[in-house]
Each structure stands twice: as C-alpha cells, then as structure tokens.
Amino acid sequence: MAFYHRLGKIPPKRHTQFRQPDGSLYKEELVSSKGFSGIYSILYHIYNPNQVLEIQRPKPYHWEIAKDYGLRQTHLNTSEVKSTGTDYLHARRILMKNKDVMMGICMPENHNMDYYFKNADGDEAIFVHEGSGQLISQFGKLDIEAGDYIVIPRTTIYRFKWKKGPIKLLIIESASPIETVKRYRNEVGQLLEHSPYCERDIKIPDKLILEKEKGEHLVQIKKHDQLHQYVYNHSPFDIVGWDGYLYPYALSIKNFEPITGRIHQPPPVHQTFQAAGFVICSFVPRLFDYHPLSIPAPYNHSNIDSDEVLYYVDGDFMSRKGIDRGSFTIHTGGLPHGPHPGMVEKSIGASKTEETAVMLDTFSPLYLTQDALRYVDKNYPMSWTEK
C-alpha cells in the first residue's frame, strides 16, 4: 500500500551507523520492488539476514494444468469442502492458473504454523472467508477477520496464528504487484474522494513481534515450483524497526462502498485491486438501480478478451441458481453468459441485494488444474436450457 509507515526503532538517517546496546551494528536490509525504482522498506535486524545454518532438500510445489478440458462454462462446487490439508502450505489448493495469476482455496486443519513462509514467486491477496486471527510478519502483527483481503508483497516472511474455529481462505497469487486501482489515486498516490475505499479503511501492522532467541528456525520459500527449505539459527522476526511503503495490509470487503446508478452498473465499478493481467472486484450488499424500468439482474455478456471467475461468499446470488457459498463459477472468453432462466424477471422490482462475492477477471485464458477436476459440476454448461 503506497503510504508511509514506520514501527519500532530506526536511525534518524538511512544507511548510517545504528548500534545495538552491546555496540555492534544492527543489520540494515532494503526490501525493494522494481529493482530500486519501485516502493520499498528498510528493515533493521539484530542478526545477519544472510547467515544460513542449513539448506535442506527442496520439495515439489506445483499444480498441473488439466489437459483437454475444452471450452465450457464451469461451476466448481467447492461449497461442501471442509478441509484441504493439514497445515497452511499443504492445504493450499490451486484450482486455476495462467501466466499472470493463480487462484484456489485453503482450509487448513492446523491453526498455527511451526515454520515461516516466504513467497518469492509472487504477491498474494488472501481473502478470509471464515476465520480470524493474526498475520505475523517481519513488519509486525496484523489483526485479521472474516471478510478481509490480506495483501502480502512477495518475499515477505510470515506465519498465521488463527483463533479456534473453521478456516476458509481464497488464495490469489500474482506474478506482478497487487496494487490499489490507479484511477482511484491522485498523482501522489492518495486515494481520491470517488474511491470506494480510503486509507482509513486499510489495516496495517501495528506492533512488532520481536523474537531474539537463537535456535533452529525453518523458513519455507516458494520459488520455481518448489518449496526451498532454509534453516537459520535465529528467527526472521529479529526486526527492531522498519520504515517505508512496502508491507502487508488488510482491507475488509465490508468497507468497500458500492457504486450504484439508475441502470445496471458494469463490473468495473466493483474493482478493488489491479495487477498486470487481471483485476479483483468485490460484489457487496447494495441498493439496486432506480430507473423506473430498470432491470437489476445483469445483462447477457460475451467476454471476447477475458475470463471471469466469481467466488461466492455469502447472501442470495440473484442471477444464479444452484450456486452455494464457497463455490466458483468460471465464464470463459469466447462464450456468452448471463442470468439463469427466470432470474431476470424475478429481479424486476427488487430494491437491493445482500450478496457478497469476489471476482477475478483475467486478460489471458485461465486453465483448470488437475485438482479442480474433482469439483466440476458437469451439468452447469447446460443450466441455461429452459425446461
């Protein structure tokens, strides 16, 4: 998130001597994007961040694309899934991907992580469908709850600490930076008055978690379809202070203010984040259109250059039948899609909707993974047929 933040102790001038109580230097680390041309933060370590105790054998971490799936509208019925694995990394199940983005679900049985994780491949936007707790990173503690988008810049070292109860996460991993929407910002990066959210809505790390004790600490690093196993003799959370513009943050979908009009508004009014090759949109409870002859249900639409994914979070999904919370629909470029039969007439006269959904729109074709095939609703492509 492009506004300045600082936590802990930092020297008055960067790249100058900053000494520990014993007289030794704190170890300065610049974490930068786009080489030295993008946003960055400067962290101050007790220990040398380069000092590795052991590099263990990497583990495969890859999702194969399903072959010969064909061109069809798709419903992934993941609504009844209760668990996808034991711990956070093994529970991440990527269901669709292309060169720009991957999307999937994560429902871990274990609430805490006994290791640290660093994604060196991409930025992450993690939507918390169910669960609450904390994201703890080098940048400090970030409280999270159901409805939050958590945006985590690549190379951030973190772990989750969850409270009791079910955990259901929507995982989006991007090959490019995940950013606030450019048209919502002025020339210095401040969110404009017409933006559907502002800086007050954004939660940022509020307290450093300092771990000084030495001992073996495992950091699993995702890079090039593998989990690389790095063991250090100190915690990566040895940060006494940092400042800058690059850090994880959270935005609740409940704080996204919908844009409405006299007639049906197109999906770009729901845009929440942008990246190279895709956008993320939020559909939230809102008043319907107020033209006297308005049709609240969306019109039929042909995607000629994008694939559209909807993840259904909660409420009554007024344009679809047979879709439950926690499922996906994927409407591909090359085919028209629109409301199911009867849903247009049903929507006329309605004053509002209580639906909540997350949408991913990509500008290159998405491909299902082998893991996704088990959830395919084979009847969905024919669900527009009048009976």
**Same domain, yes or no, for 249 and 259?**
no
pLDDT value of position 316: 78
The predicted pLDDT at position 1 comes to: 61
In a domain, 74, yes or no: no
Report the C-alpha gap between 283 and 358 in whole angstroms.
Answer: 6
Q: Binning pLDDT at 50, 70 and 90, where does residue 273 land?
A: very high
Residue 73 is assigned to a structural domain of this protein: no
Q: What local confidence, expressed as pLDDT, does residue 34 receive?
A: 87
pLDDT at 35: 87
Closest-CA residue to 204 (of 249, 251, 152)? 249
Res. 199 pLDDT band, cuts 50 70 90: very high
Same domain, 240 and 302: no
Reported as a single tens digit per residue, the pLDDT across 231-247 is 999 999 999 999 999 99
Say what the pLDDT of residue 387 is. Answer: 63
**Nearest of 85, 132, 120 to residue 104 by alpha carbon:** 85
Pairing assessment for the beta strands 157-162 and 286-287 based on DSSP bridges: unpaired
Cα separation, 365 vs 101, in Å, equals 10
154 and 39 share one domain: yes
What percentage of the chain reaches a pLDDT higher than 70?
A: 99
Q: Name the residue among 371, 298, 381 with its Cα closest to residue 339.
A: 298
- 93 located within any domain: yes
pLDDT number for residue 42 = 98
User: Does 202 lie in the same domain as 284?
Assistant: no
Q: Is the pLDDT of residue 314 over 90?
A: yes
108 lies in the same domain as 183: yes
Q: Mean pLDDT throughout 269-288? A: 96
Taking a C-beta distance cutoff of 8 angstroms, is the pair 282, 224 a contact?
no
202 and 96 part of one domain:
yes
pTM, rounded to two decimals: 0.96
Inside any domain, residue 387: no
Cβ count near 150 (within 10 Å): 20
309 and 353 share one domain: yes
Do 56 and 30 lie in one domain? The reply is yes
pLDDT 10s digits, 66-80: 999 999 999 999 999
By C-alpha distance, which of 173, 103, 160 is closest to 132?
Answer: 160
pLDDT at 126 over 90: yes
CB-based contact 295:264 (threshold 8 Å): yes
- pLDDT score recorded for residue 162: 96
Residue 350 DSSP one-character state: -
Answer with the one of 203, 222, 253 that is the final residue of a domain. Answer: 253
**Count: domains in the chain:** 2
Residues in the chain: 387
Q: For position 315, what pLDDT does the model report? A: 87
Residue 247: domain span: 5-63+85-253
pLDDT greater than 70 at residue 347: yes
Indicate if the pLDDT at residue 319 is higher than 90.
no
Shared domain for 35 and 136, answered yes or no, is yes
pLDDT value of position 100: 98
User: Residue 194: is it exposed, middle or buried by C-beta count within 10 angstroms (0-12/13-18/19+)?
Assistant: exposed
Task: At 244, give phi and psi (nearest 5°).
Answer: 145, -160
Instruction: Say yes or no: 261 and 377 in one domain.
Output: yes
Confidence of residue 321 (pLDDT cuts 50, 70, 90): confident
Per-residue pLDDT, 317: 76
| Cα 203 to Cα 118: distance, rounded to the nearest angstrom | 21
Residues 6+ apart with CB under 8 A from 341: 384, 385, 386
Q: What helix, strand, coil percent values describe the chain, rounded to 5? A: 10, 40, 50
Distance (Å, whole) CA 240 – CA 254: 33
Mean pLDDT of 368-385: 95
Mean pLDDT value of segment 122-151: 98
For residues 205 and 259, membership in a common domain is answered with no
Asked which of 229, 253, 277 is the last residue of a domain, the reply is 253
Residue 321 domain flag? yes
Checking if the pLDDT of 82 tops 90, the result is: yes
Is 77 part of a structural domain of the chain?
no
CATH code for position 338 = 2.60.120.10
- Cα–Cα distances in Å, from 305 out to 48, 331, 333, 336, 365? 48, 12, 6, 12, 8
Question: Taking 90 as the threshold, does the pLDDT of residue 219 lie above it?
Answer: yes
Please provide the average confidence, as pLDDT, over all residues in the chain.
Answer: 95
The answer to whether residues 355 and 342 belong to one domain is: yes
3-state secondary structure of 289: coil
Give φ, ψ of 144 to 5 degrees: -135, 155
Task: Give the end of a domain, one of 197, 222, 253.
Answer: 253
Give yes or no for residue 25 having a pLDDT over 70.
yes
Query: For the CA atoms of the chain, what is the radius of gyration?
Result: 22
Cβ contact 267:350 at 8 Å:
no
Q: Which amino acid is at 307?
A: D
Task: List the one residue out of 228, 215, 216 whose CA is nearest residue 55.
Answer: 228
How far apart are alpha carbons 322 and 353 in whole angstroms? 17
Give CA–CA dist 221/229, Å, rounded: 7
Neighbours of 207 (CB within 10 A): 13
* Rounded distance between C-alpha atoms, residue 171 and residue 149, angstroms: 10
Residue 310 lies in a domain: yes
Distance of alpha carbon 315 from alpha carbon 312, whole angstroms: 8
> C-alpha angle 209/212/214, rounded to 5°?
135
Residue 313 lies in a domain: yes
Range scoring the smallest mean pLDDT among 1-10, 18-27, 171-180 = 1-10
